[in-house]
Amino acid sequence: MKTILISLSLFVLQMASTSSSFAATCSCAGVPLLSAMDTSSTQPGDLYLNYSTEIHEMSDLVQGSDEIRDETGLSRSSVSQVISASYGLADKWTVSGLISYIEHERSVGISAFSKNSSSGLGDGVLLLRYTPFYITPFSRHELSFGAGARLPIGKDDDGGLFTLSEDMQPSSGSVGEIYWSSYSYAFNQAATVQFNVSANYTINDDENSRKYVFGDEINFALGISQNIGSKFAYSAGLRYRQTTADERNSFEIPNTGGKWLDFVPGVQYIFNDKLSVGVSGRVPLVRDLDGVLQFTTSYSYAVNLSYAF
């Protein structure tokens, strides 16, 4: 069965956060997890490995839906590295998992004392998927459902004498419930052109060690993917994300939560049936953020390497 190697998948862990250092807080999709996981269908015994790294710039200051001039000179970025694996357990059943390593950096102005950074193991994801329908030469539809959890692997209290805010921590420090689904339609028998729709919902009702609870999150994506010959493929899509406000000690954190709509393009080079490399990006189109001011995504781009055993 031929599968399009580029697929539209989503960020399950999105670091909505607060910073005690600024009047504006950062509510941004800082750390990719499920989007770095290969969620293509697998046959029993098949094993897929994927490595991805994403650079994410988060320096736009937004009031509601309007970007405004930042007088603080803030620069905020993250680099994430993710290793994921998917294994076909049995007919229609697949288990996927990943681990992440996260680096955060934040600076205000040019003073060396205004710079903060952290790094370490981030969160992991474990996902069990059921696919009742596959795309085959005799069927153009594929439907898949999944459920799992986001698991805190790394530290959530980095910072030494003064603990950094939640958006600067490598790990969320809390468990989240994940519910995931996707649908694909092949426009031709060879499945070289596909329409993809996927969605997931993350329930965050677990506190970290400082009584902080991240907001619940909904992600929805749709797009087109196409193979061009035997070596190249591309994808283009839209991704919508919505989060509720974060909480600490059952009180809402100001300037967290909102709605985002991004354009997500990607290209891929296929070396052979086992190995491929891809590049993708994320460009904000519409933002409607809660509270007074939030720092949020300027842009991001990622590189991933996939290998099938």
pLDDT at residue 113, as a whole number: 62
Query: Can you say whether the dihedral through the CA atoms of 272, 274, 276, 282 is positive or negative?
Result: positive
Q: Is the pLDDT of residue 156 over 50?
A: yes
Is the CA virtual torsion 58, 64, 69, 74 positive or negative? negative
Q: Using pLDDT thresholds of 50, 70 and 90, give the confidence band for residue 239.
A: very high
**% of the chain surpassing 70 pLDDT:** 85
More confident: 81 or 13: 81
Query: Of the ranges 16-20, 118-122, 200-204, 296-300, which one carries the lowest mean pLDDT score?
Result: 16-20
The per-residue pLDDT for 108 is 78
pTM of the model: 0.86
CA end-to-end span of the chain = 15
Give all domains of the chain, ordered by start, each with its CATH number: 25-308 (2.40.128.130)
Give pLDDT, residue 6. 36
- Burial bucket for residue 238 (CB in 10 Å: 0-12, 13-18, 19+): middle
CA separation for the pair 167, 165 (Å, rounded): 6
pLDDT at 155: 85
Q: Hey, is 45 helix, strand or coil? A: coil
Q: What's the mean pLDDT when you consider all of the chain?
A: 85
182/215 Cα distance (integer angstroms): 23
Residue range 84-135, pLDDT digits in tens? 999 999 989 999 999 999 999 988 766 656 788 889 999 999 999 999 999 9
Alpha helices in 180-233 (DSSP H): none
Dihedral (C-alpha) 95, 38, 102, 128: value to the nearest 10 degrees? Answer: -20
pLDDT tens, 178-219? 999 999 999 998 999 999 999 999 999 999 988 999 999 999
Q: What is the DSSP letter of 170?
A: S
What is d(CA 145, CA 96) in angstroms, rounded to the nearest whole number? 13
pLDDT given for residue 70 in this prediction: 83
Stronger pLDDT, 166 or 185, i.e. the higher one: 185
| pLDDT recorded at residue 122 | 93
Answer for the pair 37, 13: CB distance below 8 angstroms, yes or no.
Answer: no
Q: What letter would DSSP give residue 115?
A: -
pLDDT at 26 over 60: no
H/E segment holding residue 184: strand 176-186
